[in-house]
Amino acid sequence: MRVGLLLLALLQAGPGSAQAVIATQTIRAREVISADKLDIAAIEAKGAVQDPGQIIGMEARVALHAGRRIFARDVTPAALIDRNDVVQIVFIKGGLRIEMEGRALERGVVGDALRVMNPASRTTVSGQVMPDGKIEVK
């Protein structure tokens, strides 16, 4: 229902109208943004996100309060890995492939360099977050 209202608001706004995406309820920092928590308002839109599709599925960097404009700097891609998550570490070199469990020492999104600790040896390695949530060490 809310998505239909968003589309209707976009169609009614017409060219030249100032519009901005606003939160319909408070969205906490690190919460993933969903369509049912967004609306479009005909308010001054300078610097504000104008298309809700740009931020749906992203994560709030700060608390987004109901009725306030949302700016691109207020959101970030959703973290795939949180600090202290158990993750798979993958090392590939030539024909050799080694996989083991590790503990993430920080949060990360796909493509981030992330530090991971091997709990058995207490060794810390750095690797890249892959789309499947594994950490590839080179």
Residue 9, φ and ψ in degrees, nearest 5 = -65, -40
pTM: 0.66
Q: Up-side HSE of residue 56: CA atoms within 13 Å toward CB?
A: 12
CATH of the domain at 47: 3.90.1210.10
Query: pLDDT, tens digit, for every residue of 56-94?
Result: 999 999 999 999 999 999 999 999 999 999 999 999 999
SS (H, E, C) 6-72: HHHHHHHHCCCCCCEEEECCCECCCCECCHHHEEEECCCCCCECCCHHHCCCCEECCCECECCECEH
- In this prediction, residues 8-36 reach a mean pLDDT of 78
Q: Mark whether 101 and 122 lie in a shared domain.
A: yes
| Token pair in block for residue 129 | 């977050």
Q: Which residue has the higher pLDDT, 28 or 9?
A: 28
Query: pLDDT, tens digit, for every residue of 125-134?
Result: 999 999 999 9
Domain span at residue 65?
2-76
Q: Per the domain annotation, does 98 fall within a domain?
A: yes
